[in-house]
Amino acid sequence: MNNILGNLPPVVKNLLIINIIVFIGTSLFESFFISNFAVFYPDSPLFKTWQVITYMFMHGDLWHIFFNMFALVMFGAIIERVLGSKRFLNFYLICGLGALVLQFGVQAIEVYQLSGSIRPIHEYGDLNSSLPQITNINYLEDIYKTPLVGASGAIYGLLLAFAYLFPNMEMMLIFFPVPVKAKYFIPVLIVIEIFLGFSNSGSSIAHLAHVGGALFGYILLKVWKIRRTNFY
């Protein structure tokens, strides 16, 4: 175990450790961790400002954290060595925040469509007030009471960065055992997330948060003028 961690660059290693510790804590004290460290819609009484950071270290189940941490180690380690540790940490956190920007933006539109305001609790005091414009109170309550957890937004930023920096790197997938170049596979993955995000499939996965992470990752690479030609 020490040898595995020792081969990882410092930020990836510490992110991995923190995520595992928080996952164990959540398993032992689920109610406390969810109510305080998962992130809720900003107008929700359950929202706390620090949640926009802490939600990135929360995960819903073992498979959720396994796939995110696997991607962190596989892609994050390479990208940290390219960007440097300080810039990589900024990239990771900003992608995680960018995931919320898109997710909350879409939720705000949905809340407005349902209630006539993006902050109905702030304006009316109670979701259960008899507001004639709220035609689907149950869906509105879901937005307010359902927490968002996971590093997936930040991870999608890393996936985007990998495809941008190493477009011709071939990836071998368990469920598709044919080499696929990153510049093809990852954009298709993001397009699927966009489709699922707007399809109202009923899934508990925040697909648009994934898209937001990838979008902010691309913006950062352009703002920082990271050139892909240096990293083939």
Residue 112 lies in domain: 2-226
Residue 199 domain-assigned?
yes
- pLDDT for the residue numbered 196: 84
Residue 101 domain-assigned?
yes
Percentage above 90 pLDDT, the chain = 63
Q: Which residue has the higher pLDDT, 192 or 94?
A: 94
Number of domains in the chain: 1
Q: What is the DSSP string of 47-88?
A: --TTHHHHGGG--SSHHHHHHHHHHIIIIIHHHHHHH-HHHH
| The two three-digit tokens of residue 227, written as one number | 């050139």
pTM for the model:
0.89
**Which residues have a Cβ under 8 Å from the Cβ of 183 and sit 6 or more positions away?**
163, 167, 168
Q: Is the predicted pLDDT of residue 230 greater than 60, yes or no?
A: no
pLDDT in tens, 41-59: 999 999 999 999 999 999 9
- pLDDT for the residue numbered 17: 97
Can you tell me whether residue 159 is helix, strand or coil?
helix
Residue 88 domain-assigned?
yes
Q: Per residue in 212-231, is it b (16+ CB within 10 Å) or e — as a string?
A: bbbbbbbebbeeeebeeeeb
Residue 123 domain-assigned?
yes
Q: Is the predicted pLDDT of residue 231 greater than 70, yes or no?
A: no
Sign of CA dihedral 107, 100, 57, 127: negative
User: What value does the mean pLDDT take over residues 95-113?
Assistant: 93
CATH classification at residue 214: 1.20.1540.10
146 phi/psi in degrees, rounded to 5: -95, 120
End-to-end CA distance of the chain: 31
CB 196 within 8 A of CB 207: yes
Please name the amino acid found at residue 214: A
Residue 8 domain-assigned?
yes
pLDDT in tens, 59-82: 999 999 999 999 999 999 999 999
- pLDDT for the residue numbered 152: 95
Q: What is the DSSP string of 131-195?
A: -TT-S-HHHHHHHHH--B--SHHHHHHHHHHHHHH-TT-EE--SSS-S-EEHHHHHHHHHHHHHH
CB 151 within 8 A of CB 68: yes
- Backbone angle region of 84, left / alpha / beta, with phi > 0 → left and psi within -120 to 50 → alpha: left
Residue 231 domain-assigned?
no
- pLDDT for the residue numbered 202: 45
CB 82 within 8 A of CB 37: no
